[in-house]
Chains A and B, each alone.
Chain A
Amino acid sequence: DTAVSQTPKYLVTQMGNDKSIKCEQNLGHDTMYWYKQDSKKFLKIMFSYNNKELIINETVPNRFSPKSPDKAHLNLHINSLELGDSAVYFCASSQIGASETQYFGPGTRLLVL
Chain B
Amino acid sequence: AQTVTQSQPEMSVQEAETVTLSCTYDTSENNYYLFWYKQPPSRQMILVIRQEAYKQQNATENRFSVNFQKAAKSFSLKISDSQLGDTAMYFCAQGGSEKLVFGKGTKLTVNP
Contact = CB atoms under 8 A, between A and B. Distances in A.
Do A and B interact?
yes
Contacts of A45: 99-101
Contacts of B37: 104
Interface string A11-34: 000000000000000000000010
B75 interface: no
Interface in B13-42: 31-33, 35, 37, 39
Interface stretch (B43-51, B60-68, B76-84): B43-51
Dominant secondary structure of chain B at its interface with chain A: strand
Interface residues of B, number: 24
Contacts of B105: 41-43
B10 to A, nearest CB: 11
Given A41-B104, A56-B99, A103-B47, 5 more contacts: A43-B105, A58-B99, A88-B43, A98-B100, A99-B33
Interface of B: 31-33, 35, 37, 39, 43-47, 50, 89, 91, 95-102, 104-105
What 4 pairs between A and B have smallest CB-CB spacing? A104-B45, A98-B95, A43-B102, A98-B100
